Amino acid sequence: MSLQTILSLAIYVLPRRTALYKREVLVVALQVLAVALILSAATFLRVVELGTVGYNSDEAVYAGQGAAIAQVPVLKDIFPVFRAHPLLFQFVLAVVFTFDFGDWTGRLVAAMVGVATVLLVYRLSSELYGKRAGLIAALFMALMPYHVVVSRQVLLDGPMVFCTTLTLYMLARFGKAERRIDLVACGASLGLAFLSKEISIILLGAVYAFLAVSPEIRVRPRDIVLSVAAMIIVMLPFPLSVRLAGGGGESRTQQYLVWQLFRRPNHTADFYATVVPPAIGVLLIVVAVAGLWMLRHRIGWREKLLMLWIIVPIAFFQLWPTKGFQYLLPIAPPFAILAARALVQWPARELRWREWRVPKSAPGMALVAIIAVNLGSASWNIVHPAGLNSFLAGTGGVPGGREVGHWINENVPQGAVFMTIGPSMANIIQFYGHRKAYGLSVSPNPLRRNPSYEPIDNPDYQIRTSALQYVVWDAFSAERSTFFSDRLLDYVRKYKGRVLHIESVTVQNADGTSEEKPVIIIYAVYP
């Protein structure tokens, strides 16, 4: 071949290869830009006005545990390290609290875990259905009110969902390539989920069911043994630390299990059906379910995996007497991915109008935009509310709680003891006010109370002997328990309660007008 021929081929081939390379680089750059924009939106919704309202009860407990581990002086003697749950997230908080202690800092850590979960959903959906589905699923997860509101709080459920989604991701990788390392990583990830919150172990049933109903995926017994071993090894620090720490931690954990098994239902049976779908997005759920039906001839191991990740938690928590707003959060990523799958794979015809042609993907992308706007607007209304009208445990902070705690810390003598309607406000007072507080509603029967809380033995005697000097009434606890609210106010009247401080918030009435409503009142009571 002559030199002239070689040069001619080079001139012909190189520009084409260069154009192809540039096109691939452009596609990757656009994908990176799209992921960055989605993560930016996720970060904004989880960080904006993050410290406007103080902690709620659960946040105060978990942040208090983190502070106790970090040896924060004002809280290490008030909040015990071992209560009911494992301590993975609390240890992460403790590391951060050694550098900067504050409620905004704790929430920022939780928010960053939430943003990382959005990125993980992108990776998982891309693994199952391609990059386009990954971007759509990540967008839905970034804007979803259910995940936004929980990941803005110092709760165990946000980190737990990160770990359960990681478990789902490793299981999907195993289903795709059948590599042993992925199944072992799946077991280790489920162990991390347990260390975040022990109830996540129920998803072991989803893993077993998936492998049982997916004969196309070959699983060797040795791989299962290694995966279970990895899970147990990762889980071991919790029972070992409880046993070796002493101080009654092991006994308290056993009491907590007994209490959970025999406690009375705290919500009606339709709680999840009425609360969770609007939080996930009704239109998103409809698209996900419709996609399963319309594409039922394409259902394979991927769809079985996602459906079981939804069915198992719903079945368990519906039967479980205790119901909480955030308990079903692990089903949010599968729903987002199934909705993305439906919008990407939905069969569509090319639409024509005169000389205009509408691309096949246009209807699906329009629906993506509608769902995204719906989810984003709902999330914005939650993080930037116009006013306070009601309170649902687990959906946000407690207005006035931080402020009343700071007032107590500045104006009430050290060693003072408070009585509240329930343990929720008691936790907030202890975190912000640095004073001991006990809930009147805590039952003296060990089978009817959380073992982490102490009951008030004979409140009359405690007040008459000046062992209890202050009473706190709050509207949020009163809304949930009118009986104990009335009892607490009876003690206020009986012992000449004097109002020392009132915290109020602005609420909107049904007619659109606004008014100041007292939400927390501190009384001094006298023998």
**pLDDT for residue 7:** 43
Tokens of 15: 């520009």
Beta-bridged to residue 504, according to DSSP, are 518
Q: What are phi and psi of 521, to 5 degrees?
A: -130, 130
pLDDT for residue 43: 97
Quote the CA–CA distance of 179 and 218 in Å, as a whole number: 10
**In one letter, which amino acid is 146?**
Y
Tokens of 39: 């993560």
| Average of per-residue pLDDT across 268-295 | 94
Q: DSSP per residue over 360-372, as a string?
A: TTHHHHHHHHHHH
Dihedral sign computed on CA atoms, order 124, 127, 133, 139: positive
Where would I find the H helices in 295-389? 301-319, 332-345, 362-383
Note whether 472 and 523 are within 8 A (CB): yes
What tens digit of pLDDT does each residue of 459-512 get? 999 999 999 999 999 999 998 889 999 999 999 999 999 999 999 988 777 777
pLDDT for 301-360, tens place per residue? 999 999 999 999 999 999 988 888 999 999 999 999 999 999 998 766 666 666 676 677
Q: By three-state DSSP, how is residue 290 classified? A: helix
Cα torsion 339, 341, 345, 351 to 10°: value is: 40
Q: How far apart are CA 426 and CA 111, in angstroms?
A: 25
Query: Which residues, other chains included, contact 257 with Cβ-Cβ below 8 Å and sequence gap of 6+?
Result: none
- What pLDDT, in 10s, does the model give residues 106-137? 999 999 999 999 999 999 999 999 999 999 99
The answer to whether the predicted template modeling score (pTM) of the entire model surpasses 0.85 is yes
Judge whether 418 and 426 are in contact, CB under 8 Å.
yes
Q: Which of 484, 432, 481 is nearest to 455 (CA)?
A: 484
User: What is d(CA 45, CA 149) in angstroms, rounded to the nearest whole number?
Assistant: 9
Q: Count of CB atoms within 10 A of residue 360's CB?
A: 13
Helix (H, G, I), strand (E, B) or coil at 406: helix
Q: How confident is the model at residue 75 (pLDDT cuts 50, 70, 90)?
A: confident
d(CA 277, CA 127): 26
**239 by DSSP, 3-state: which?**
helix
More confident residue, 452 or 487: 487
**9 pLDDT band (50/70/90 cuts)?**
very low
Burial label, 119 (beta-carbon count in 10 A; 0-12, 13-18, 19+): middle
Q: At residue 224, what is the residue type?
A: I
Q: Which residue has 């192809």 as its token pair?
A: 20
- The arithmetic mean of pLDDT across residues 25-44, rounded, is 90
DSSP state of 430: I
- What burial letters (b/e) apply to 33-50, b meaning 16+ CB within 10 Å? ebbeebbebbbebbbeeb
